Amino acid sequence: MLVKEYRICMPLTTEEYRVGQLYTISKHSHQESDKGEGVEVVKNEPHEDPVHGAGQFTEKRVHLSSKLPSWARAVTPRIFYITEKAWNYYPYTITGEACSFLPKFSIYIETKYEDNCGDSEDIFRSDKILGDHEVSFLDIAFDEIPERYYRSLEVRGAGGRRGPAPCTTWVSRPRRPRQDPRYFSSAKTGRGPLREGWRQHTKPIMCSYKLVSVKFEVWGLQSRVEQFVHKVIRDILLIGHRQAFAWLDEWCGMTMEEVRRYERETQEATNELVGLVAPAI
């Protein structure tokens, strides 16, 4: 098992990000989905935990056959998906991912959100973790992201924050993507663009602390797969937090009731886009 901790700062408060996170996940999932592939929401319902209190439980199927590298496609079925279960007790969340086809593969993510610049030491009580783990600070403005993520969305037709746009086209923009915090400036809040050293002087500021455990217990492939999955997770965390900031003017001012409504509407549209539930493997 390979364990790493990621710390991602944002020019937001934790209360703001509570709304922004829900909005971003819903919008991003819809944009990344296509017929037969993408994120299918199976459950999204209130959940009560005796320790953490009231929260939200979600179960999703992430269909991603075409997104696997060639060496992985060679050993997986044509219809392939990962089951994700998440318990959101914000500002604390737990996410688990598994695949029925690969019973020895799993991802476990524990997340805590705090209003600071990522300087909370031992936030996950390392005595619970077997051995040392790497801590990586991810910079949403200046860390490198693979070129395939440098794209902006052009929308044809009417769209709005109450639901996804009816027709979308991806267009490559490798130099100045709209979702690049180095260029984005919020009209509503005046935040951005982000400059070198922004984490040391920006207010407000918050940090997402994510402890990620990846396990793939197959001899000969374990190290390669676990390292690959962590690289993918790192890229996803960067692009997701970038989008949350770049879309700030879209969700800023929304109430929890409004963002939950947007979430429901977008999930329905995304499920239609992905198509029928894939058969069990």
234: pLDDT strictly greater than 90? yes
151-155 and 168-172 strand pairing:
antiparallel
Task: Give tens-digit pLDDT for 143-160.
Answer: 988 776 655 433 333 344
Evaluate if residue 27 carries a pLDDT over 70: yes
Confidence at residue 238, expressed as pLDDT on a 0 to 100 scale: 95
Fold for 2-274, please state it.
Alpha-D-Glucose-1,6-Bisphosphate; Chain A, domain 4 (3.30.530)
Alpha-helical regions (H) of 128-216: 198-201
Reported as a pLDDT band with limits 50, 70 and 90, residue 67 is: low
What mean pLDDT, rounded, does the chain reach?
84
> What does the alpha-carbon distance between residue 111 and residue 138 come to, in Å, rounded to a whole number?
15
Pick the more confident residue, 221 or 23.
23
pLDDT at 78: 59
What is the C-alpha to C-alpha distance for residues 39 and 271, in angstroms, rounded to an integer? 7
- pLDDT surpassing 80 at residue 212: yes
Condensed to tens digits (0 to 9), the pLDDT of residues 159-197 reads 444 444 433 333 334 445 578 999 999 999 999 999 999
CB 269 within 8 A of CB 35: no
In angstroms, the CA 117 to CA 12 distance is 11
Percent of the chain residues topping a pLDDT of 70:
78
Per-residue pLDDT of 198-208, as tens digits, reads 999 999 999 99
The predicted pLDDT at position 100 comes to 72
Which residue shows structure tokens 């969700």? Answer: 251
Name the pLDDT band for 122 (thresholds 50, 70, 90).
Answer: confident
CA-CA-CA-CA torsion for 202, 111, 230, 179, nearest 10 degrees? -40
Enumerate the domain spans of the chain.
Answer: 2-274
pLDDT for 216: 93
Task: Please check the confidence at residue 76 and state whether its pLDDT lies above 70.
Answer: no
Q: Give the three-state DSSP class for 272.
A: helix
When comparing pLDDT for 47 and 128, which is higher?
47
What is the predicted pLDDT for the residue at 145?
84
Q: What is the mean pLDDT of residues 45-65?
A: 92
Region of poorest pLDDT, from 14-18, 26-30, 157-161, 232-236: 157-161
Degrees (nearest 5) of the Cα angle 118, 83, 223? 65
Residue 229 has what pLDDT? 93
- What pLDDT does residue 77 have? 58
